[in-house]
Structure 1
């Protein structure tokens, strides 16, 4: 822990030195420079103090989220400044070496820092600064309803036009605005879907986080064909230190009961059938299975009594499960619904044209619809937020999927 804090301190001090150089290049009034240094020092000390006070038995709190938000808002822009000025220093060193050893020029080895580089750096730094502030103040509750129509040649006739609303990654322990949450619940209800599915992470860690929000989520109306859910990786209480094994198990049982308290049937490596008219589809729910996370999901157990030719909708929280086990599975899971990634809550997305996030370097499937040999996975961007208390570019999502009979048109 001490080594981590020292490493963080050294890293942030380097950033501070470069950022101050850029600031000093443009500002000459001494009192402004001193004020900047004092504010920077206070923020740095507060961040370091907050990290030293982190309690591994409690996990994420409002304090840790505030600290993470402050860290990103202050130091991501300064990091951009640092990288730009570091690049300038490398150029200055190269130019100085040429002047000194080849041209035998007596001018200063490094030369003076150029004002316009600092101006460009501050201009570029203003973009993530404004974006991160927006993400905290507006973006985290800027809910989007995303509609997706998917065609399947072997969809049972009665389910042509069947609609599914998906929510995922609620992370109720992060919420702080009842009005916004109720607005999101209203959006869910307005979709009037046939079925609603919740693909895990109802809390950050502790079951009690959901207590203030049970009434709000109980407002999700009964859907004609039911309300079903699965567990996410955060639902197992894996990311804190528990006093006893029994305490962890008690919390886990309480978390599982939360889904029932808000009217969702929790599927634990099991399946059920959704019947409409003379037709049916299999709805399969597995516990969390992640390539780099808890592997409690058992697709064989969950689908043991499901026939090869049944139309199948699978709920699996982590999309890496689809990538590693599901997409080429012999039982042909037609549609998998996942979440987990949040799109890292930061990225650039122009619907239908372009999307980018750091999440794509970790997950092959990280947001939206993906296909492999006629089998699909849809990755929900998440209802809530975690760690960074905001969203930039990748907004909280309520998904509405319409199943259609036929072939997709390219």
Structure 2
């Protein structure tokens, strides 16, 4: 029943959009081309879901058909919104003329100018989504922050970390671009590199071709990693539970093959002389149906609230629900997961918007609560829609500073 309703709504929108195009394009061949393009795109999209995919997810040909369908739908939806607004106005004009004037004019006809305007506005998201698939998904950006803390040991004043998240290696299709991005991470020359989950889409084997590339990530204090919701294989239909567990063991081994220190509800100490900071890593903890394998109490056992702590937790809802007011006083949390929905508008320092903000309070960038910070990385890779628009793939660099005593 749900599918029938969805199809009915899509058909209604399609018919409505067609009316706008008919206003602009009077020639039969142009309207035929419009119909043909729509039929071909929908047909190929349906066809793609009947084809096997390498990793059983929204990748490859299927992902690109999803992207093209979304681009075309964005164009049509924009047209529908504008035309619907004009139709409401036409209804009011018709009622007004009937009640208060002697005009014999029947229902006002659509204006070609409005149809042209609607099509022009619709071209913006249409072309943007196509660009996002062509270039946007590898448009890596380095975002740098400097954060001050009262209890940061002097020996760690100026300590730098680089965070990457959501690699989703099963989606990659350009080795040259990924090599460039790994070099970009190394160029930051941070003291430590921290990866906050979702190494793959579903299967450990997705990462194996990329081990030589990502094993080049280096930092003086090493590379630490955690698991994200996609790393457990929960979104793949395995032949048996044993196969699923075998895949998970393989994924854990991949972290080792990369030379990364995988933290599964545990912590490590980074020392400078007699002083230390704690890197705490928990398994995935998310609300709204996502896996809750994370155990912060276990990972932070024995840690003094006065000690400086960096928590790696894939899903930012963990910080919002548990960590930001926790008695352990976690000064800095690093998360990912949202991808910034891979779509949005950002004007640094002034404006930031994405549909994902209606699902997550903390969805991209830096947030603070009572001197406790969380950074939500926008993600290194991409999933489902094979592109990015406005929300670019991110390498985060954070410098830790000790707040002067006079300001503390």
Which is worse superposed, 10-19 or 285-294?
10-19
For 1:338, which of 311, 329, 335 is the aligned residue? 335
Aligned position for 2:70: 72
Tell me the distance in 2 between the aligned counterparts of 1:213 and 1:95. Answer: 62
Aligned position for 1:63: 61
Contact 2:151 2:307 in 1 (8 A): no
Aligned position for 2:269: 273
Aligned position for 1:38: 36
Using the TM superposition, give the Cα deviation of residue 105 of structure 1 relative to its aligned residue in structure 2, in angstroms: 5.0
Tell me the matched-pair count: 405
Which is worse superposed, 133-142 or 304-313?
304-313
Which is worse superposed, 255-264 or 192-201?
255-264
1:79-136 Cα offsets, whole Å, 9 max, x none, are 011111122222223333343466575433x321111110110111011011111111
Corresponding residue SS for 1:220: coil
Please give the residue correspondences for 1:165-176 in structure 2 after superposition, counting only pairs within 5 Å.
165-176=162-173
Tell me the distance in 2 between the aligned counterparts of 1:268 and 1:77. Answer: 44
Corresponding residue SS for 1:35: helix
Contact 1:273 1:281 in 2 (8 A): yes
Corresponding residue SS for 1:324: helix
1:220-277 Cα offsets, whole Å, 9 max, x none, are 12x2112111100110111122221111111111112111111111000011110012
Tell me the distance in 2 between the aligned counterparts of 1:11 and 1:240. Answer: 30
Contact 1:230 1:285 in 2 (8 A): yes
Contact 1:171 1:201 in 2 (8 A): yes
Please give the residue correspondences for 1:11-160 in structure 2 after superposition, counting only pairs within 5 Å.
11-51=9-49, 58-100=56-98, 103=101, 106-108=104-106, 110-160=107-157
1:175-194 Cα offsets, whole Å, 9 max, x none, are 00000000001101111111
Provide the TM-score with structure 1 as the length reference. Answer: 0.94
Tell me the distance in 2 between the aligned counterparts of 1:96 and 1:402. Answer: 63
Aligned position for 2:189: 192
Tell me the distance in 1 between the aligned counterparts of 2:30 and 2:184. Answer: 47
Using the TM superposition, give the Cα deviation of residue 29 of structure 1 relative to its aligned residue in structure 2, in angstroms: 2.1
Task: Check 1:97–1:57 CA distance in 2 against 1; reply closer, same or farther (3 A cut).
Answer: farther
Tell me the distance in 2 between the aligned counterparts of 1:21 and 1:132. Answer: 24
Provide the TM-score with structure 2 as the length reference. Answer: 0.94
Task: Check 1:7–1:259 CA distance in 2 against 1; reply closer, same or farther (3 A cut).
Answer: farther
Q: Is residue 227 from structure 1 mapped to residue 223 from structure 2 by the alignment?
A: yes
Tell me the distance in 2 between the aligned counterparts of 1:103 and 1:236. Answer: 69
Contact 2:286 2:318 in 1 (8 A): yes
Where does the alignment leave 5 or more consecutive residues of structure 1 unmatched?
none
Contact 1:371 1:377 in 2 (8 A): yes
For 1:259, which of 237, 252, 255 is the aligned residue? 255
Corresponding residue SS for 1:313: strand
Contact 1:271 1:284 in 2 (8 A): yes
For 1:299, which of 296, 300, 304 is the aligned residue? 296
Which is worse superposed, 16-25 or 76-85?
16-25
Corresponding residue SS for 2:216: coil
Q: Is residue 239 from structure 1 mapped to residue 238 from structure 2 by the alignment?
A: no
For 2:161, which of 156, 164, 169 is the aligned residue? 164
Contact 1:54 1:64 in 2 (8 A): no
Using the TM superposition, give the Cα deviation of residue 44 of structure 1 relative to its aligned residue in structure 2, in angstroms: 2.3
1:137-195 Cα offsets, whole Å, 9 max, x none, are 11100001111110001100100000101110000000000000000011011111110
Task: Check 1:363–1:260 CA distance in 2 against 1; reply closer, same or farther (3 A cut).
Answer: same
Using the TM superposition, give the Cα deviation of residue 362 of structure 1 relative to its aligned residue in structure 2, in angstroms: 1.0
Contact 1:26 1:119 in 2 (8 A): yes
Where does the alignment leave 5 or more consecutive residues of structure 2 unmatched?
none
Using the TM superposition, give the Cα deviation of residue 49 of structure 1 relative to its aligned residue in structure 2, in angstroms: 3.7
Corresponding residue SS for 2:207: helix
1:289-322 Cα offsets, whole Å, 9 max, x none, are 0112111000101001212221111000011100
